[in-house]
Copies of this chain bind each other. A is one copy, B any other.
């Protein structure tokens, strides 16, 4: 059973002080992890109720891996534990923002980079313009 209540009243959902995550059809909320000091977006991932409960309880980021279909204690094998400095929820409670400090070598992306967002898209031109690898 989910440890979180369901709130259907829009006003209560948006202005209330009860965490009532709106899990999607797959039981997930979207999570944005940013680096606590630099503010860089490190990754976008998902939590189910159990992952969210563990993240709140331990102060370390737990996710639901959609590819592996299992709970994922980020950094458990790599050492790249994400210690959550702050957690916020958005207006309609279907997204979370966590500010984290990254353990181990400070990496986050499975490709070895610090952030998953290592490619820039040039703007004000055609969609076909190539991405720029930036770090």
Contacts and interface: CB of A to CB of B under 8 A. Distances in A.
Interface of A: 3-4, 14-19, 30, 32, 34, 38-41, 43-44, 52-53, 55-59, 84, 86-92, 94-97, 109-111, 113, 116-121, 123-128, 130-134
A86 B84 CA distance: 26
Contacts of A124: 56-59
Given A17-B119, A89-B119, A91-B111, A97 B41 contact: yes
Contacts of A4: 127
Contacts of A88: 41, 117-121, 134
Contact of A117 (B15, B97, B133): B97
Contacts of A132: 17
Nearest to A34: B41
